Structure formats: structure tokens, C-alpha cells
A and B are shown apart, each in its own frame.
Chain A
Amino acid sequence: MILKFQVSLQKPEIKLETLKEDIKEFFRITGWEKKLHNAVYSELTVFPLPRHPAAPPEHLKEPLVYMRKAQGSWEKRILKSLNSMCTELSIPLARKRPVVEQKELLNKWNEMGTDEPDLSLFRPVYAPKDFLEVLINLRNPNYENGEHLNFKTHLGLIQVPLKVKYISELKEFFVELSLNTGQLGIDDATQVPPELFENEHVRLGQKVLAEQDSAAAQQYIRQGSPTALRAELWALILNVSNQPEDLLYYEQLKSNVIQHDLLVDSLIYKDVKLTASNDDYYFVFEDYLYQVLLCFSRDTAVLGHFAYNSASPPKSYIRGKLGMEDYAVFYPPNGVIPFHGFSMYVAPLCFLYHEPSKLYQIFREMYVRFFFRLHSISSHHSGIVSLCLLFETLLQTHLPQLFYHLREIGAQPLRISFKWMVRAFSGYLATDQLLLLWDRILGYNSLEILAVLAAAVFAFRAVNLMEVTSLAAAEAVLADLSTLKVMPLLQIFLFATVT
């Protein structure tokens, strides 16, 4: 682009006085203005607003000290678990592959799913329920909770006083989901004539794509994305394009995978085999999952997101140089240790993107914008702690009888809905419904909709849940979500429930 610009600058028409206008004009003509707009917009969306100038960088990650401390100790536990597995199995954290093995892996790159390494000794580093236990034990030291029940104790599992939205605030926030606005997922059903909403919405979507405007796309997608346009719309919103340098970058990562073997790779293998391969919808995409996740764990560009993530990447020291900062490396290179179910973040994306490097980029962008919040302790309104508290508050406020009943039988609702939220409902909903849900996550740039959906599911099955008498029975009622239609549930819960 710079070259083209220089070439055009050398034309005799360019005058010094009008240089500023000419540059602007040039940007506009070549479409670079739009790209710059999109890039700036994406930066604004991802990075939090600048805080007080005197605030240290940790505040960008997480302003509350007790949360930072809790996240720190949780990380120590994870590392301990990883290290002990390492010593038990006497497998190095990383090793260079012999040339023979490298060649083999390169040949098998597109069908790594056929590999059946012995993974029986590996176990996932942690599962969502372990994480839930940590969250339950979070306490604000400035807040007098006491060990005994008092008026200030929350009735749910989460005991920290974070600010979450009321339903009136949610109604305002999610105003595009209201009853008198057209939605994909509701107004494209077979009985509704397409002229009413669907056709116009599709036309609008095509126009948005033609304009290549990220902000407009984000606004548009709040009403859902037509199936045929979804892949491009998501790429536009996440500001992912397929430049040659991106392709090269992916190839670089691929060669890193080939050259070095990490312990984390086995964890990834195990996770894919346990979760995605056994899923009726996603088993077909097994090979893509390996190609994305193995490269992901070597991508040091991901380290950038730790500036605003309350978590910190684990450090590993070269043998014998423990504690010496000069010999510290981040392990794994991207700083993210996968847990049980991690591969489910990628699986639904395989439905949309088939070219590995594009799929990889989209996943990476989704991770550093949204998914990381689902497994780190922070006070952010989209962080998992807030989502849990939002869920419990909504349920308690609007279905108090149900909440009380479940609590009495020892089936705290959060114990059931936690796994849904941590995985952003991937693997629980039908694929088309899940994609409609993730449309809204992108559109509103927030994960709060996960908590609202979880509450809506409980509201939907309230009658059956009132009759159960144990946690196991409650789990059974809520075991199968694959028949649910997401948008009607959300609409009814937000806009049509009598409070």
C-alpha cells in the first residue's frame, strides 16, 4: 500500500497545498479509509478505556486486589498440577522432535486424528467444576460476610458483591432483541413470510458487507446473521482478513509445531478425543481442531492479551536456572493452559471456516476478545464471576420459588449452569442455535447474554424442575438442551416475563 501511495505521490497533479486532502482522498478511493476505521474500532473494542494516569498496569488487568490475589493462587495450583504430572510421567515440558518424527508429522498434518497415542496416563489439568470451587470460595476482605448466614450473605454460591445489571438495564442493553424488532432465529421461521423481515435483513447484510464497515456489521449482527453471510460478517467484525502475511504467520506456527513437541500437545489431544470427537455434530472436524489448537499454543502474539487479562502467563525456567529472570520463558508459548473442554471453543467455528489459517485467526481473535474471560478470575462485567452472579441474581429475582426449591434440595442452580457458561454453550445447544447466540455475543461485545440464556433455560423448564427432589434429577431435566430455540427463550425472558 505504501508503494502504491508513493507512486501516486509522484504524479505531477499532487501539490503540496492539497497534500492533506489528497492523502485523505487516496485513502478513501483505495478502501484503506475503511480498513483504518475498522482497525481503530477493533482496538477500541478490545482494549479497555484508559484509567487514571497514576494507576499501575496491574489495574488494567484487574483493579481489585483480592481478585488478583485469587487469580494468582489459582494459577499456582494449575502449575503445580501440571508440574506434578510432568514429573510423574517423566515427560519434559518441551522437547525438540527428531527429524524422522518431524517428517512423519508433516505427512500426517491433515489427518492427525488418526493418530492414537497412548494418552491414558494424561489427565486434564483442571475441569470447570474445579474452577467453580475456587469461585465459590472467593471473598472480599473488605466486606463483612462472616462465616455464618446473615442478611448480607448471598443465597447463591457466589459471595462477592459485584455490580451486575438488573433486568431493566438488560432490557435497555439488549434493546435490539425486543419483541417488536425482527430477529433471525424467530422471524425467519417457516410460517413467517420472508417479505416481513428476512429478505430485507439479508439485503441489508449484503450491503454492510459491501461497505466493509466493522461498526455497522457489529450493529447489524445484533439481529442475527443470515447463514450465508455469517462467515464474512464475523471476519469483518473481528477485523480478520486473509493477508499473505497472515498465511505466512500460520505456516510459521505450523513449522514450530513440527519442530518441537510440547507436553501441552498431549493435553490438547486428550481433550479433543474426550470432547469434540465424541460429539455428534463436531466429530467430523477433529483434524481441524488439532491444526488450530496446536498452532495456538505456540503463538506468542497471544501474550499481548495478558495486558488486559487478569491472568498471567506461567513462566518456566531453563533447567538449573530456577528464579533467574534471564532464563525464564513462558510456557506454553502462548501462556494459555488448556482445560477440559477447551477444544469446544473451536469446534463451532469449523462450521463456518474451512481454510485452516482463516479458521485459526478467527479463533484467536475470539479467544483474546471473549473466551479468556470465561476461565480467569476478574471483576469485569463479562468475566465469569460476574456472569455467575448475574445468573444467580436473575434467577433469584424472577423465579424465587424455583431458586429456593432447588437450594433446599441441594441443587444450587449455578452448579448446573456453570459448565454451560464456561463453554459459551458450545456442545450443549444445536449448532445453528449456538451460532445465533454467538452472533449476539459479537454484536453486543459482551458475554452477559450467556447468563441471561442460562436463566431463561431454567425459567423454561421451571415446571419440571419444581418437581425434582435431588441434584441428579435436576441435572437430568437440564441434560439435553439440543432442542432449545435460543432467541425465543431470550426474548420471552427479557421482554415478556411478568415480574
Chain B
Amino acid sequence: MGGGRGRGRKRAPALLRQRDAQAGEGRGGHFQAGWGGPQKSGRRCNVQTEESMFEDSWCAKGERAGPESMYPIQVHSPEYSYGCPPPQAWLGGSERLTRKNYMVKNLKRFRKQLEREVGKLEAAKCDFFPKTFELPSDYHLFVEEFRKTPGITWIMKPVARSQGKGIFLFRKLKDIMDWRKDVGRSDDQKDDIPVENYVAQRYIENPYLIGGRKFDLRVYVLVMSYIPLRAWLYRDGFVRFSNTRFTLSSIDDHYVHLTNVAVQKTSPDYDPEKGCKWMIQRFRQYLTSKHGPEMVETLFRDMDNIFIKSLQSVQKVIISDKHCFELYGYDILIDQDLKPWLLEVNASPSLAASSQEDYQLKTCLLEDTLHIVDMEARLTGKEKRVGGFDLMWNDGPVSREEEGIDTAGTGNFVANTHLGCNNDRKKQLRQLFCSFHSQKKVTS
């Protein structure tokens, strides 16, 4: 127990085994990187990471399972007709963002840096992550914080698992004493059992409720490069409802508190026809009719802030490669004061569709991702919008206004994000590619 556990220890073998297990499950619909052996097809390229946790990084062989058909998306090509290796879908070190403990560390470090360099006000913008402690390494710090605020609920999440597995809530220390004992025992058995790190996070007890139900938002962010940081925000997303009414009195009931669709699918009154999701457009309209447009604008601006700051905090530690891209799924929770909280960032967001609307969203999302990846080199690189993606950050904030008008400093700056807004992507794509076509004709 102690600081040594975090970084230096070679956890690679356990990690590989875990990933293999996941890869074999055939859940379908994950942009899965093949961590495993040569049976996975794809191009190999070497990406060195700081800790040499992985020797190889694979291209993605993505499989999307829609209700109608399955077809694989191969993001690789044997011929390099454009003279450069094709893009890959895993950046080395992306777990800095997506593994919960690393996310916390990086964010804390970034916050300190901001406080030093810019000031307290700017640093306070990073307070969108509920208080989190890594266990077992920060156990004593955690206990100190726990004792300071007795009676509140905490949530324990395994660091590297997904789909709601292994998560539980607790209020008393004795609930995790038993867990701690188990962990202590496995210390002796070293590498036989994969060691799991957990994070203990302060549970947000006053979530915003709609119809008495708790929900969280899933938003998609596409990062084309980290240095310089170029990030795109997709206009669509969805709101996942918990299937039962929210109450703090039954913290053992997973179905109330966890909004992952994966967990909800096993809830006894889950009706797959029903769908516990809303599109973000509907959610935005609902909020506007309830709170007015200004408060909703503020909320969405705060969410933009979450995306940018979280990416900036890991900017320096992720290996940037201009031929790599990553599509993240951000999970955001909104509390009753309309403040957004970052729950987690998913590196391989589920692409399985639970309804026709969902299928629509995910197919269009993937299509637009590939448009931006631009393997046919159709884009000029100066676009601020491609289909449903808006360029959110291009080594600096991107404004909705046209180039040339410097509004960044005047306070009239409006960010170029349209989350929950009208997504007329087909029209936009048509206009975009038509204009290229005519331009090419002119130049050729």
C-alpha cells in the first residue's frame, strides 16, 4: 500500500489478460483495439509509451452491430496511396484520460498548474470532478476526507472495468473494510489474480431528476490530435434514464443509481421496446421550456469547459501522433443546480444500438468520424463543421463567428459548439463536398 503501486509497477500482464477477456466476449459494437496476439488483423505500428506498458498499438478493427446488419469497419489499408500511414484509432496512453484513477491524477495536477500560472478563478473551472481517491493507494487520505463529512454516500468504481460492473455504493467504512481485507490477502499471491484498483468517489446526492428519475448524458468528442489539441464535438448524444425512481434510501439497488444501459438491461422491468433514452435535442428543449434559454446556455457552456479542460489536462502525457484519432464517450451528470459533473470518459464507447433512433445516431456518428479522418484527403483542414461534428478546439477556442472578427477577448465570444441543436448533417455534408468538387474542377 503506498505510492509505489501507481506507476512503477509493471501491471502490463494483468492488463493484457483483462483486455483479452473483454475482447473475446463478443459484446459487439466496440471500437475494439486488439491488444492480444496476431490473430487480430490490422496494421502493427510501434508507439513507445513512457512506461512501456504496451509494445504495440493496434489499428482498430471496429465492428458495429446494428439491429439490421453487422459489418466491420476496417480502419487500415495495405496500400499507402497517399504516402502516409493510415490513421489508427488508439492513441498510446489514452488510458490517461479514460482510466478513472489516472483521470483524477491528471486533473489534479492540471488544476494546480492553472492555479500557479493563471489564478484561482481559472483553476476553479476544473472543479467538475467529484472528489475522488484512488484505492488502495490513497486509502488514508480517503479515510481522512470520509471522516470530515460523515453520512454522505460514496461510490466505488473499479478502475478499468466498464458497463457498470463491480460498482457499489456505501456510507459506512465497514462496508469497504471487508473489501480491503480481500485486497490485502491477494497481495501475497502477486500475479495470480489480476489486481484491481478502485476509485472511491463522492456520490452526487442531488442529481437533476426528470419524472423522478436520475439520468446522465452521453456526449461524443473526437480528438484528432493532442499536440496541438484539435477536438470536435458531436451535436447529437443521448440521455440515459435510470429505470426506477431516484431515492437515497436504497443504495443497494443498482437499478436506481446506475444509469448505464448495460445495467438497466438486466433490471426486471426493463422493456427493450421502451428504451430508457432520450436524444439530447429533446432534453435541451425540455430544459429550455423549464428554465429559459439563458440558463441552458450556461449549462452547455459549462459542459464545453469540461471537455476542453479534461483534454488539456492530459495533453502532455498522451503520446500524440498525427495519424491517430480517438473517439471518446463522455458521461456527464447534472445536479439540481444545473451544474454538470464529469463522471467518466470512455475510450471505447459502446456502439450497440438499443433502438432505431439510437442506431441512426451511432451510424451517423461513425460516418462523420470517418469524414473527418478523411482518408481520401477531401477536406482542406480549415473546416469548422463536418456533418454533425463541430470543431470545438483548434489549439485555442473556436468561435462561431467568421474568421477575421476577433471576438475572443471582447466577451462576445460564442463557442462553436452546438450540442443538442439541430443536426442537419446531410445537408451540410452535401454542401461541403459539392463545393470541393467544384473547387477541384476549377483548379485541375
Known: A113-B245, A280-B355, A351-B289. 13 other contacts (CB 8 A): A111-B212, A189-B422, A190-B421, A228-B288, A228-B292, A278-B274, A281-B282, A284-B211, A286-B211, A287-B245, A351-B285, A431-B285, A432-B285
Query: Does B424 count as interface, using CB distance less than 8 angstroms?
Result: yes
Query: Does A167 count as interface, using CB distance less than 8 angstroms?
Result: no
Q: Which residues of B contact A116 (CB under 8 A)?
A: 269
Whether A280 pairs with B357 at a CB distance below 8 angstroms is yes
CA distance A114 to B246 in the complex (A): 12
Q: Known contacts A110-B245, A114-B245, A284-B213: does B422 contact A190 (CB below 8 Å)?
A: yes
Q: Which residues of B contact A283 (CB under 8 A)?
A: 274, 276
Query: Does B232 count as interface, using CB distance less than 8 angstroms?
Result: no
Query: Does A78 count as interface, using CB distance less than 8 angstroms?
Result: no
Residues on A facing B (Cβ under 8 Å): 110-111, 113-114, 116, 189-190, 227-228, 230-231, 277-278, 280-281, 283-288, 350-352, 354, 431-432
CA distance A63 to B244 in the complex (A): 50
Which B residues between 401 and 430 are near A, CB-CB below 8 angstroms?
421-422, 424
Query: Does B433 count as interface, using CB distance less than 8 angstroms?
Result: no
- Which residue on A lies nearest to B291, using beta carbons? A228
Query: Does B122 count as interface, using CB distance less than 8 angstroms?
Result: no
- Which residue on B lies nearest to A482, using beta carbons? B357
Sample of 27 A–B contacts (CB below 8 Å):
A110-B212, A111-B212, A114-B244, A114-B245, A116-B269, A189-B422, A190-B421, A190-B424, A227-B285, A227-B288, A227-B289, A228-B289, A230-B289, A278-B271, A278-B273, A278-B274, A280-B274, A281-B278, A284-B241, A287-B212, A288-B211, A351-B285, A351-B286, A351-B289, A352-B289, A354-B290, A432-B282
Q: Which residues of B contact A287 (CB under 8 A)?
A: 211-212, 245
CA distance A189 to B422 in the complex (A): 9
CA distance A354 to B290 in the complex (A): 8
CB distance from B400 to the nearest CB of A (A): 12
Query: Does B275 count as interface, using CB distance less than 8 angstroms?
Result: yes
Query: Does B119 count as interface, using CB distance less than 8 angstroms?
Result: no
CB distance from A273 to the nearest CB of B (A): 11
Q: Mark B97-117, 1 if CB is under 8 A from A, else 0.
A: 000000000000000000000
Q: Which residues of B contact A231 (CB under 8 A)?
A: 289
Category for how many chain B residues contact A: 20 to 34
Which B residues between 258 and 298 are near A, CB-CB below 8 angstroms?
269, 271, 273-276, 278, 282, 285-286, 288-290, 292-293
- Which residue on B lies nearest to A284, using beta carbons? B211
Q: Known contacts A110-B245, A284-B241: does B274 contact A277 (CB below 8 Å)?
A: yes
CA distance A280 to B290 in the complex (A): 20
Q: Which residues of B contact A285 (CB under 8 A)?
A: 211
Q: What is the interface of chain A mostly: helix, strand, loop, or mixed?
A: helix
Q: Which residues of B contact A230 (CB under 8 A)?
A: 289
- Which residue on B lies nearest to A280, using beta carbons? B275
- Which residue on B lies nearest to A230, using beta carbons? B289
- Which residue on B lies nearest to A231, using beta carbons? B289
CA distance A432 to B422 in the complex (A): 12
CA distance A371 to B288 in the complex (A): 27
Q: Which residues of A contact B245 (CB under 8 A)?
A: 110-111, 113-114, 287
CB distance from B292 to the nearest CB of A (A): 5
Q: Which residues of B contact A228 (CB under 8 A)?
A: 288-289, 292-293
- Which residue on B lies nearest to A277, using beta carbons? B274
Q: Which residues of A contact B269 (CB under 8 A)?
A: 116
Q: Which residues of A contact B357 (CB under 8 A)?
A: 280
- Which residue on A lies nearest to B423, using beta carbons? A190
Query: Does B210 count as interface, using CB distance less than 8 angstroms?
Result: yes
Question: Which of B210, B273, B289, B355 meets A284, CB within 8 Å?
Answer: B210
CB distance from B298 to the nearest CB of A (A): 14
CA distance A325 to B275 in the complex (A): 51
Question: Most chain-A CB neighbours within 10 Å: which of B211, B269, B286, B292?
Answer: B211
CA distance A116 to B268 in the complex (A): 12
Q: Which residues of A contact B276 (CB under 8 A)?
A: 283
CB distance from A452 to the nearest CB of B (A): 25
CA distance A285 to B276 in the complex (A): 12
CB distance from B194 to the nearest CB of A (A): 39
Which B residues between 340 and 356 are near A, CB-CB below 8 angstroms?
355
Q: Which 3 A-B pairs have the closest CB atoms?
A: A284-B211, A111-B245, A228-B292
CA distance A32 to B289 in the complex (A): 28
CB distance from A495 to the nearest CB of B (A): 24
CA distance A111 to B244 in the complex (A): 9
- Which residue on B lies nearest to A285, using beta carbons? B211
Q: Which residues of A contact B285 (CB under 8 A)?
A: 227, 351, 431-432
Q: Which residues of A contact B275 (CB under 8 A)?
A: 280
Q: Which residues of A contact B241 (CB under 8 A)?
A: 284
Q: Which residues of A contact B288 (CB under 8 A)?
A: 227-228
Q: Mark B204-233, 1 if CB is under 8 A from A, else 0.
A: 000000111100000000000000000000
CB distance from B238 to the nearest CB of A (A): 11
Q: Which residues of B contact A189 (CB under 8 A)?
A: 422
CA distance A113 to B271 in the complex (A): 14
CA distance A116 to B285 in the complex (A): 31
CB distance from A235 to the nearest CB of B (A): 13
- Which residue on B lies nearest to A287, using beta carbons? B212
CA distance A432 to B288 in the complex (A): 12
Q: Which residues of B contact A351 (CB under 8 A)?
A: 285-286, 289
Q: Which residues of A contact B355 (CB under 8 A)?
A: 280
Q: Which residues of A contact B244 (CB under 8 A)?
A: 114
Q: Which residues of B contact A277 (CB under 8 A)?
A: 274
CA distance A230 to B273 in the complex (A): 31
- Which residue on A lies nearest to B292, using beta carbons? A228
CA distance A354 to B421 in the complex (A): 23
CA distance A352 to B288 in the complex (A): 10
Q: Which residues of B contact A281 (CB under 8 A)?
A: 278, 282
- Which residue on B lies nearest to A279, using beta carbons? B274
Q: Which residues of A contact B421 (CB under 8 A)?
A: 190
CB distance from A338 to the nearest CB of B (A): 21
- Which residue on A lies nearest to B357, using beta carbons? A280
Q: Which residues of A contact B290 (CB under 8 A)?
A: 354
CB distance from A120 to the nearest CB of B (A): 16
CB distance from A484 to the nearest CB of B (A): 15
Q: Which residues of B contact A110 (CB under 8 A)?
A: 212, 245
CB distance from B285 to the nearest CB of A (A): 6
Q: Which residues of A contact B424 (CB under 8 A)?
A: 190
Which B residues between 128 and 184 are near A, CB-CB below 8 angstroms?
none
- Which residue on B lies nearest to A354, using beta carbons? B290
Q: Which residues of A contact B271 (CB under 8 A)?
A: 278
- Which residue on B lies nearest to A283, using beta carbons? B274
Q: Which residues of A contact B212 (CB under 8 A)?
A: 110-111, 287
- Which residue on A lies nearest to B209, using beta carbons? A284
CA distance A432 to B245 in the complex (A): 25
